[in-house]
């Protein structure tokens, strides 16, 4: 298998530290708000990577942190803790916010068929580990105390900008919300390991430490949690591209300074989901969540399908039109699958299995080329072989793609049956609904999404169930 490595900026043959075993770490969400579908693009693509490694026979251990303290509104250690901001916004405690949005995150993941990592560790569970690591860095003279905070001293490193061949714009997206000068820092790239004095007094969660009451910096969380659960040799570290700098750069700096050798071999970064007006975010434009897509009548798995149709190393533009196209294509695929007959008397065609599995593996072996992987699903449907073999292959590839192909096809079949047996509406009402659906189709054609949504909402209120299918919208009561 070949995997692109952000460290070398090349596709490399994938080799593990221990034969057959993969240690994999993923930066988890900052649980101050719902995840937007951009965040979830990263988790979908990381999920595919994990599942493909398992499909290829590796024993994978995947660890994810939950950032419930220390991630400030700028990734450059300034601004307010995002958790405190979230708590103020909702007039709740930080821990209430953390609990609520952690649950919400995993509910979204479930809807998108994203597997829960083997270990999920909230940062607030690991304060002892953070303190021990900061202590170790101070002892090794990689850290210093200034103005009450503990800082990592980047001037002690041979190389700091480990991902420096990235486009400078890509690197700077990590430093959001502006950067303020911190006069305690000896070098401009130094970063906080432990805060005791920050310019705001309202930090909700604080712990005792050898340097005074305070709280950890964001970067130390991932290093310490990874070392705790995966040891000193990490195979793959994942995250969205905005995390490459400064977050992952700082993780490498402090982890390698602490353990004294190379830490992680492969860095897997997912490019952003953007809107037509730039990077998707929680604070600007429409806050796009899985629930919002559902309210608008989209199947969350159609969003997963949309993500799989493009490569993780290309930025992807979200628009409702693009999602409509993906949902249409996904439905068409399901219609074809629903037409396959599972005939017990048929035998699996081993030659077809071999040929198509090789094709599927070649696609995924090539730096997780999911769009080619999806194409192989159509090759299966077109193959000159029996339906039983086709169903077997679709189910097998779905272990990686996780589109619930067979279940969704079954649901589609059942919804068609329901349509036939649904109660009949009187003629005038039917005429009204048909007219409204025609207006909605026209609005969609003209990209007038607000009007299309308004019509849908009005019909829903009147008890009309709408199902968007490849042959247009169908309705029932």
d(CA 46, CA 52): 10
What are φ and ψ of residue 264, in 5° steps? -120, 135
Q: Which does 122 bind (CB under 5 to 8 A by kind): ligand AMP, Zn ion, none?
A: none
Determine contact, residues 352/336, Cβ cutoff 8 Å.
no
Determine contact, residues 36/282, Cβ cutoff 8 Å.
yes
Smallest separation (angstroms) from Zn ion to the CB of 351: 46
Q: Which does 86 bind (CB under 5 to 8 A by kind): ligand AMP, Zn ion, none?
A: none
Q: Which does 117 bind (CB under 5 to 8 A by kind): Zn ion, ligand AMP, none?
A: none
Smallest separation (angstroms) from Zn ion to the CB of 472: 45
Counting beta carbons within 10 angstroms of the beta carbon of residue 105, is it exposed (0 to 12), middle (13 to 18) or buried (19 or more)? buried
Residues binding ligand AMP: number (CB under 6 A): 17
CA distances from 464 to 93, 423, 436, 440, 445 (A): 40, 11, 11, 14, 22
SS3 state of residue 48: helix
SS3 state of residue 190: coil
Contacts of 471 (CB under 8 A, 6+ apart): none
**Binding of Zn ion at residue 222 (CB under 5 A)?**
yes
Nearer to ligand AMP, 279 or 410 (CB): 279
Nearer to Zn ion, 222 or 443 (CB): 222
SS3 content of the chain, % helix, strand, coil (to 5): 50, 15, 35
Cis peptide leading into 246, omega within 30 of 0? yes
Nearest to 204, CA basis, from 28, 29, 32: 32
Q: What interhelical angle do 427-445 and 449-461 show, nearest 10?
A: 160
Nearer to ligand AMP, 79 or 239 (CB): 239
Smallest separation (angstroms) from Zn ion to the CB of 305: 28
Query: What is the contact mask toward ligand AMP in residues 17 to 36, using x (rule: CB under 6 A)?
Result: ----------x-xx------
**Binding of ligand AMP at residue 44 (CB under 6 A)?**
no
Position closest to ligand AMP via CB: 240
CA distances from 177 to 22, 79, 194, 216, 278 (A): 36, 8, 21, 20, 15
Residues in region 455-474 near ligand AMP by CB under 6 A: none
Q: Record the tokens describing residue 355, joined without a space.
A: 């040929």
Smallest separation (angstroms) from Zn ion to the CB of 150: 19
SS3 state of residue 431: helix
Stretch that binds ligand AMP, among 56-64, 122-130, 235-243, 462-470 (CB under 6 A): 235-243
Q: Which does 138 bind (CB under 5 to 8 A by kind): Zn ion, ligand AMP, none?
A: none
Stretch that binds ligand AMP, among 118-126, 269-277, 294-302, 436-444 (CB under 6 A): 269-277
Q: Which does 222 bind (CB under 5 to 8 A by kind): ligand AMP, Zn ion, none?
A: Zn ion
Nearer to ligand AMP, 62 or 456 (CB): 62
Tokens 């979230």 belong to residue: 86
Query: What is the contact mask toward Zn ion in residues 1 to 30, using x (rule: CB under 5 A)?
Result: --------------------------x---
The angle subtended at Cα 434 by Cα 429 and Cα 439, nearest 5°, is 125
Residues in region 51-70 near ligand AMP by CB under 6 A: 67
Give me the residues that bind Zn ion (CB under 5 A), please: 27, 222
Residues of the shown chain interacting with ligand AMP in the complex, contacts defined by CB under 6 A: 27, 29-30, 38-39, 41-42, 67, 239-240, 242-243, 270, 272-273, 279-280
């Amino acid at each position: 298998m070949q995997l692109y490595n952000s460290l070398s900026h090349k596709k490399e043959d994938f080799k593990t530290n221990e034969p057959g075993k993969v240690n994999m770490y993923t930066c988890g969400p900052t649980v101050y708000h719902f995840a937007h579908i951009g965040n979830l693009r990263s988790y979908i693509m990381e999920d595919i990577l994990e599942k493909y490694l398992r499909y290829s026979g590796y024993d994978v251990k995947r660890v994810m942190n939950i950032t419930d303290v220390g991630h400030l509104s700028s990734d450059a250690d300034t601004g307010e803790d995002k958790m405190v901001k979230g708590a103020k916004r909702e007039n709740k405690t930080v821990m209430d916010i953390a609990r609520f949005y952690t649950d919400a995150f995993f509910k979204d993941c479930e809807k998108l068929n994203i597997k829960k990592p083997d270990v999920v560790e909230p940062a607030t569970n690991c304060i002892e580990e953070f303190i021990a690591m900061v202590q170790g860095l101070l002892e090794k003279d990689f850290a210093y105390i200034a103005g009450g905070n503990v800082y990592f001293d980047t001037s002690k490193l041979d190389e700091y900008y480990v991902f420096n061949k990235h486009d400078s714009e890509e690197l700077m997206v990590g430093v959001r919300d502006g950067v303020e000068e911190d006069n305690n820092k000896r070098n401009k790239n130094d970063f906080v390991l432990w805060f005791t004095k920050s310019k705001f007094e309202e930090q909700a969660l604080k712990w005792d430490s050898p340097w005074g009451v305070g709280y950890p910096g964001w970067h130390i969380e991932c290093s310490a949690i990874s070392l705790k659960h995966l040891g000193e040799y990490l195979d793959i570290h994942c995250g969205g591209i905005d995390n490459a700098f400064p977050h992952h750069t700082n993780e490498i700096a402090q982890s390698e300074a602490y353990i004294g050798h190379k830490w992680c071999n492969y860095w897997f970064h997912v490019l952003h989901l953007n809107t037509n007006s730039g990077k998707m975010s929680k604070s600007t434009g429409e806050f796009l969540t899985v629930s919002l897509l559902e309210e608008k009548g989209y199947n969350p798995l159609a969003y997963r399908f949309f993500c799989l149709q493009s490569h993780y190393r290309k930025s992807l533009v979200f628009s409702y039109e693009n999602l409509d196209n993906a949902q249409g294509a996904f439905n068409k695929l399901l219609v074809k699958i629903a037409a396959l007959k599972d005939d017990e008397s048929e035998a699996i065609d081993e030659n077809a299995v071999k040929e198509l599995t090789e094709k599927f593996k070649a696609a995924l072996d090539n730096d997780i080329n999911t769009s080619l992987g999806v194409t192989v699903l159509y090759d299966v449907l077109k193959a000159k072989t029996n339906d039983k073999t086709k169903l077997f292959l679709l189910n097998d590839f779905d272990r990686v793609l996780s589109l619930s192909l067979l279940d969704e096809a079954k649901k589609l079949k059942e919804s068609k049956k329901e349509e036939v047996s649904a109660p009949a509406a009187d003629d005038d009402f039917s005429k009204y609904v048909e007219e409204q659906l025609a207006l909605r189709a026209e609005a969609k054609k003209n990209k007038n999404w607000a009007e299309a949504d308004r019509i849908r909402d009005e019909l829903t209120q009147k008890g009309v169930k709408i199902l968007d299918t490849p042959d247009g919208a169908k309705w029932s009561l």
